[in-house]
Structure 1
Amino acid sequence: MSTSLRPGARAGGVSTLLAVPAVMVLVALVAAGLTGALSPLGIDGLPEPGALTRVGLPTVQAVRDLAGMVTVGVLVVTATCVPPPAGSAESALGPARTRLVAWAQLSATVWAIASLVQVAFVYSDASGSPMGRPGFASEAIFFAFGFEVGQYGLWGAALAAVVAAGCILSRRLGGVGITAVLTVVALWPMALTGHAAGTLNHDEAVNLQLFHLVGINVWVGGLVALVLARRLLGDSLVATVRRYSTLAAWCLVLVTVSGILGAWLRLPSPSALLSSYGVLLALKLGAVVLLAGAGWWHRRHTIAALATGSPSAFTRLVAVELVVLAGAAGLGVALSRTAPPAPSEAPRPLTAAQSLLGRDLPGPLDAVQWFTTWSIDTLFLPLGVAAACWYVWAVVRLRRRGDSWSWLRTASWLLGCLLLLWATNGAPGTYGRVLFSMHMVQHMTIATGVPVFLVLGTPVTLALRVLRRREDGSRGPREWLLSVSRSMPLHVLGHPVVAGGMFVVSMAAFYYTPAFELALESHTGHVVMTFHFLLTGYLFAESVVGADPGLHRPSYPMRVLLVMITFGFHALFAVSMMASTTVFAADWFASLGRTWGRSLADDQYLGAQIGWLMGEYPILVMAVALVTAWVRADRRERRRFDRREEREDDRQLQAYNAYLGRLGTTEMTRRPPPPTMASEDSRGAKKERNR
């Protein structure tokens, strides 16, 4: 049934889009004005940046945030919800996708420009220098390159520019998907400077802010995408809206949970809810509750009316949600300009450890604390729990369907998730930035132990058996998983030699360059380090003992040789570290003021020993998995050969006996050629196995 809209409905959608930035900027300015963020400080002796900076900074930030929302949401919806035109290839863009990518390019450009302008306003606000003062430009440039806040702004602008370039270069849906992933990465600098980043628990607040930004950006930008592409979607509009509705429901959960936890970190007591900061948080929470009710209503009534061709259904679908979401985003801008309430007690000066770690220095480490010490990592805790829950859900769904699944695979995956949670939230996560030895425990667990057990869980095979296949050409989780598993970059990075080389070289480069100290000092460096070693370890383990489709794997003898060489280099690296007299990141560890435990040199020697020893049990696990897979492969080949011989009446055996008979009656100078030991059927079976 056609779902084209009348001119009045189209005009309503355009007016709603025009109202979004106006509402967002207006709410941000009004809320900031009510909290006093737009008023001069009025303190004698302190420089005053002027009214242009006080009003311009929240305005530019609102423009930047809205441009980021449109970019992220439009690209995500394009990559996951919008089908291609009828009769076109799945990866073809078509009119609707092309229009959305063009709008994403425009909004990413605005995002980049607004990020640069915001850096200038931030410098003006921090230094009290009015915009346009003589010498202001050179000072702002120095601030942008010399201070963290300015660097975050430059990184945000650079990443937004990369996203805009990715939109220009995207000619197929695969390029759109890669660019959509880049937009999520581009949200990281915004999380570092958001209204959650100034607390003592900085790392936890930044992680929650990232989840919050992802949810709100996909939610708002997805609605904008529906408005922009509705006339070109035709009969696919209803299906696209349904898929977006499911996506928005997950965004609602993400925004609500991350927002509540972030507020809990920033509010020192329940009485702080009565402060201006608490009131803004309460208003934002009320907007989310209103949106949850609107979403329920739309799923129950509006989408059904849209399917029947109601001309005003689409306008009702997006108008209320976009306006309320814009208001909530404006409140977020005001929150970033409002200081959180101070504790009732006078704050104590931060210790060196608190200023560096963002929390108190942990006490002496004993054997019991290896298992009882926990500090929540708000990034890897939800990721690890989500991975475990998804796997259990998939196995239950598979068995309810009547299919079997190995309990060993389930146990391997859950053990890998538990190891990841312990390495990031347990004692290694608590002491990893305090003791080199515990850092090595964390590093080796993430790089060697976790990937092996995750690979043995064969998650790709499970996902392909559980996830639904889409029939209209749009790409859901199953289609994207297949596309990634067949992509050339994965095949290159997952080649056994490349994966093994990355595993060894990156480890040596990490410790013998400033990257190690950067990972200790910077939350961004720590997150990048964790993901890097988790990914390189997973690719190496997958190329050796994996059973998921996608990667090319060598013969079993070559796999054994590859494991021996790779871990041999790893052992050599550990020995060289034990022999080193240079203490890695000595300034960092000395600045913490730790008065207990081993000296820096002794602790580093212990860490090198741990690194050597913790490389042994993954070898054992991989060896058992390799031998088991090798034996099973030989048994399958033997059974296949026996079935073929039985089907062909021992054709291979008779041919070989005839060959031996000819050898006895032929001169040695005229030896007959040996028989072909593989029939056409067997060669076909071999080709099928290789595929």
Structure 2
Amino acid sequence: MALAALFAAGAFSGAFTAFASFTDPGVVVRWGMPVATVTTELALAVTMGSLALAACVLPRGPLVDRALGVAGVSAGVWTLAALVQLVLRFSWSTYLPLDAPTFGPALMEYVSTIAVGRTYLAIVIVAALTAAVALLVRGPVGALCTIALPLVALGMQSSTGHAAGASSHDLAVSALFLHLGGAALWIGGLGAIVLVGLRYAATADVIRRYSGIALWCFAAVAVSGLVSAWIRIGSLDGLSTDYGILLVAKAALLVVLGSLGWLHRSTVVARLSAGTATRNEAVGLFWRLAAVEIGVMGAVSGVAVALGSTAPPVPDEAIADATPAEIVTGHPLPPEPTVLRWLTEFQWDVIVAFACAAAVIVYVRWALRLRRRGDAWPVGRTISWCLGILVLFWATSGGAAAYGHVLFSAHMVQHMVLAMVVPLFLVLAAPVTLLARAVPARKDDSRGPREWVLLLVHSALGRFMANPVVAAVLFAGGMVVFYFTPLFELALTTYAGHLWMIAHFTLVGYLFANALVGVDPGPSRPGYPLRLVLLFATMAFHAFFGVTLTSGTALLVPDWFGLMGRPWGPSAIEDQQKGGAVAWGIGELPTLLLAIGVAISWTRSDEREARRSDRKAERDGDAELEAYNKMLAEKADQAAKRGEG
């Protein structure tokens, strides 16, 4: 089905027709490259789907081992297909036929000196490594660790999907990664269930869990597809082009897929859960729906490959007459900041924005689930979570993100919000406690979100990272390591480094705040006096860090902030010194709030201890006080006797 859709779409758009005679690499390359691309993407999808099933869906034992075996074999197919794709892509892009005398040396130069060639070679290496690791590891932990490898490959593939100097590069890369990842898990998960064995894997629990994953994948593919489409068509007029027509066809197939998924969930899962179908009937019903769904998925993959080989209405080319800011950052310089523009300017991050929306939906669903079964969950915690996620969204897609790319002071605002404001709201929402109460424990020895989170929280690594002293060192010392090493430049110049920066600041801030005022399980919290000592020590370190920046005269990442060509605002070094004042000033208010929170918790702890003592005294007639008074009386009598003697 994938190949049929590929050939039909390619014939429609003319993407694979012969080039001019002097540039045509040959029919094998013109049709072989897209076929190799489809094979590569489907094999990658099955690899990811099998690993995801082994990590989060299937019960431990033979089924997980079978899934890891499927992942290893499919990763081997992925490796071979990616290698063929690399060779054919080189011939496609250079118009050099496969039998040309200089083909071999030119290919070696391509994979050793050209950035795109090195990237595709790295993907082949990652695929081979995935195959080896998947066949060696065992159990859900091994599967979860292994799935990081194909994600790395998807990240590298996404970086080649849009020209580095083209408009909206970061937005296109993030949307493509979300699109490819969602599609791979969705398609690969269903294919893995079939390959692992329907008679063993098509149970009510497995299908229900996969359906939940597929629903989120559908949302990710739909959202990222809309973003990518808008970047490439520019306007509704672009829908009338060959590219636009293929895009509409792909969207229609996606709608069909979503409808089949709903049908899957409402029929197969319902009948399996109700026990109204025999095992053979359930397997047959699942197979019929899965066959149709896999066929449509293959068609989507074929159309997607043809779409990628068709020129979009908006050329994927470097910006002509680019400004200094566009050359450095890939984005137009935003207007001079004002209070209103800090709230209205946006520089969207699709991955983080999607994660924020998912976080709110999941948390609210869990809270409502508790309420429906009659359990109380404080509304204030839900509000705190929603506010924290809203601030996180603003810091990563709003004014802090738009200006943080061109002004060091704005970047410091973003840093402080991520590290000190967002974590405080999230910690007060107690998400781990809500997870433990709202999500039922699995009984079949598989690991879902509840099992993985609690395993991490109670693991040796989790306890070490959550230790208040360790959290304080990471929280304070991480700033020096980040800003005075190449990590800062990496976060500015690469999207992967940017995502790492967001995750690092938010997670470290969460660990520190949770150690001081959190109610979630995890850290072995010290006494309240030591908590205040740690808090004020980090406050002093922030002040020292801020003073260092304020008085410094050496510009950090001068090839970035020094080349913006801003017609407004202070000079780069003056703005950096202003950023030092921001680090000093903004950090004080959250620290003060944390200190107040620690003091309130201390007071409440004393009050709870006093109430416990009062209740104990009521139960035993204040036996402890009577024993203490009796001891004092005996000592007094002994002292009197010694005096008489």
**TM > 0.5 fold call:** yes
C-alpha contact 1:195 1:335 (8 A) present in aligned 2: no
State the match for 2:41 in structure 1: 65
Q: Write the distance in 2 (CA, Å) between the matches of 1:328 and 1:347.
A: 31
State the match for 1:424 in structure 2: 396
State the match for 1:170 in structure 2: 137
SS, match of residue 339 in structure 2: coil
Q: Write the distance in 2 (CA, Å) between the matches of 1:146 and 1:554.
A: 54
C-alpha contact 1:95 1:232 (8 A) present in aligned 2: no
C-alpha displacement of 1:142: 4.8
Q: Write the distance in 1 (CA, Å) between the matches of 2:490 and 2:521.
A: 36
Q: Write the distance in 2 (CA, Å) between the matches of 1:166 and 1:565.
A: 44
Cα distance change, pair 658–397 in 1 and its aligned pair in 2 (3 A)? same
C-alpha contact 1:196 1:205 (8 A) present in aligned 2: no
Sequence identity, in percent?
41
C-alpha contact 1:196 1:209 (8 A) present in aligned 2: no
Cα distance change, pair 547–252 in 1 and its aligned pair in 2 (3 A)? same
C-alpha contact 2:384 2:425 (8 A) present in aligned 1: yes
Q: Does 2:227 align with 1:265?
A: no
Q: Does 2:256 align with 1:290?
A: yes
Q: Write the distance in 2 (CA, Å) between the matches of 1:437 and 1:567.
A: 19
- Return 146-155 or 434-443, whichever deviates more: 146-155
Q: Does 2:78 align with 1:111?
A: yes
Q: Write the distance in 1 (CA, Å) between the matches of 2:210 and 2:218.
A: 12
C-alpha contact 2:46 2:187 (8 A) present in aligned 1: yes
- Return 624-633 or 637-646, whichever deviates more: 637-646
Q: Write the distance in 2 (CA, Å) between the matches of 1:441 and 1:631.
A: 33
C-alpha contact 1:303 1:313 (8 A) present in aligned 2: no
Q: Write the distance in 2 (CA, Å) between the matches of 1:130 and 1:548.
A: 62
C-alpha contact 1:32 1:38 (8 A) present in aligned 2: yes
1:660-680 alpha-carbon deviations (Å, 9 max, x no partner):
234334479x9xxxxxxxxxx
1:392-415 alpha-carbon deviations (Å, 9 max, x no partner):
333333334333333432332222
Letter in 1 for 2:250: K
Q: Write the distance in 1 (CA, Å) between the matches of 2:490 and 2:83.
A: 25
Cα distance change, pair 225–400 in 1 and its aligned pair in 2 (3 A)? same
Task: Name the count of aligned residue pairs.
Answer: 633
C-alpha contact 1:196 1:206 (8 A) present in aligned 2: no
Cα distance change, pair 410–240 in 1 and its aligned pair in 2 (3 A)? closer
- Return 521-530 or 463-472, whichever deviates more: 463-472
Cα distance change, pair 554–590 in 1 and its aligned pair in 2 (3 A)? same
Cα distance change, pair 496–131 in 1 and its aligned pair in 2 (3 A)? farther
Q: Write the distance in 2 (CA, Å) between the matches of 1:452 and 1:296.
A: 38
Give the superposed CA RMSD.
2.9
Letter in 2 for 1:404: A
- Return 463-472 or 217-226, whichever deviates more: 463-472
Q: Superposition pairs for residues 136-155 of structure 1, below 5 Å? A: 139-144=106-111, 146-155=113-122
Q: Does 2:529 align with 1:553?
A: no
Cα distance change, pair 589–484 in 1 and its aligned pair in 2 (3 A)? same
1:21-65 alpha-carbon deviations (Å, 9 max, x no partner):
xx3345335533543333454286xx6544444334323322221
Letter in 2 for 1:210: F
C-alpha displacement of 1:313: 2.0
Cα distance change, pair 305–515 in 1 and its aligned pair in 2 (3 A)? closer
- 2:10 corresponds, among 16, 24, 32, to 32
Q: Does 2:181 align with 1:209?
A: no
State the match for 2:436 in structure 1: 464
Cα distance change, pair 313–547 in 1 and its aligned pair in 2 (3 A)? same
Q: Give the gaps of 5 or more residues in structure 2.
A: none
C-alpha contact 1:495 1:543 (8 A) present in aligned 2: yes
Q: Does 2:259 align with 1:281?
A: no
Q: Superposition pairs for residues 282-681 of structure 1, below 5 Å? A: 282-303=248-269, 307-308=277-278, 309-310=280-281, 312-342=284-314, 349-666=321-638
Q: Write the distance in 1 (CA, Å) between the matches of 2:461 and 2:424.
A: 21
- 1:76 corresponds, among 52, 61, 69, to 52
Q: Write the distance in 1 (CA, Å) between the matches of 2:463 and 2:7.
A: 51
Q: Give the gaps of 5 or more residues in structure 1.
A: 1-22, 84-92, 671-691
Letter in 1 for 2:478: S
C-alpha displacement of 1:209: 1.8
C-alpha displacement of 1:114: 4.0
C-alpha displacement of 1:154: 4.5
Q: Write the distance in 1 (CA, Å) between the matches of 2:418 and 2:122.
A: 27
Cα distance change, pair 175–542 in 1 and its aligned pair in 2 (3 A)? farther
C-alpha displacement of 1:416: 1.4
Q: Write the distance in 2 (CA, Å) between the matches of 1:156 and 1:505.
A: 35
C-alpha displacement of 1:108: 2.6
Q: Write the distance in 2 (CA, Å) between the matches of 1:241 and 1:647.
A: 54
Q: Write the distance in 1 (CA, Å) between the matches of 2:471 and 2:532.
A: 15
Q: Write the distance in 2 (CA, Å) between the matches of 1:248 and 1:43.
A: 46
State the match for 1:42 in structure 2: 20
Q: State the TM-score, normalized to the length of structure 2.
A: 0.90
C-alpha displacement of 1:503: 2.1
Cα distance change, pair 130–660 in 1 and its aligned pair in 2 (3 A)? farther
C-alpha displacement of 1:548: 0.4
Cα distance change, pair 411–285 in 1 and its aligned pair in 2 (3 A)? closer
- Return 304-313 or 479-488, whichever deviates more: 304-313
SS, match of residue 581 in structure 1: coil
C-alpha displacement of 1:322: 0.9
Cα distance change, pair 185–487 in 1 and its aligned pair in 2 (3 A)? farther
C-alpha displacement of 1:70: 0.4
SS, match of residue 203 in structure 2: helix
1:130-167 alpha-carbon deviations (Å, 9 max, x no partner):
44756655654554454442343355345445544543
Q: Write the distance in 2 (CA, Å) between the matches of 1:280 and 1:218.
A: 23
C-alpha contact 1:143 1:150 (8 A) present in aligned 2: yes
Cα distance change, pair 629–67 in 1 and its aligned pair in 2 (3 A)? same
SS, match of residue 187 in structure 1: helix
C-alpha contact 1:364 1:596 (8 A) present in aligned 2: yes
Cα distance change, pair 643–161 in 1 and its aligned pair in 2 (3 A)? farther
Letter in 1 for 2:67: L
Q: Write the distance in 2 (CA, Å) between the matches of 1:413 and 1:575.
A: 33
State the match for 1:237 in structure 2: 203
Cα distance change, pair 563–272 in 1 and its aligned pair in 2 (3 A)? same
C-alpha contact 1:96 1:232 (8 A) present in aligned 2: no
- Return 430-439 or 535-544, whichever deviates more: 535-544
State the match for 1:14 in structure 2: none
Q: Write the distance in 2 (CA, Å) between the matches of 1:145 and 1:512.
A: 31
Cα distance change, pair 457–302 in 1 and its aligned pair in 2 (3 A)? closer
State the match for 2:187 in structure 1: 220
Q: Write the distance in 1 (CA, Å) between the matches of 2:121 and 2:546.
A: 38
Cα distance change, pair 629–606 in 1 and its aligned pair in 2 (3 A)? same
C-alpha contact 1:388 1:417 (8 A) present in aligned 2: yes
SS, match of residue 312 in structure 1: helix
Q: Write the distance in 1 (CA, Å) between the matches of 2:37 and 2:74.
A: 14
C-alpha displacement of 1:513: 1.8
C-alpha displacement of 1:103: 1.1
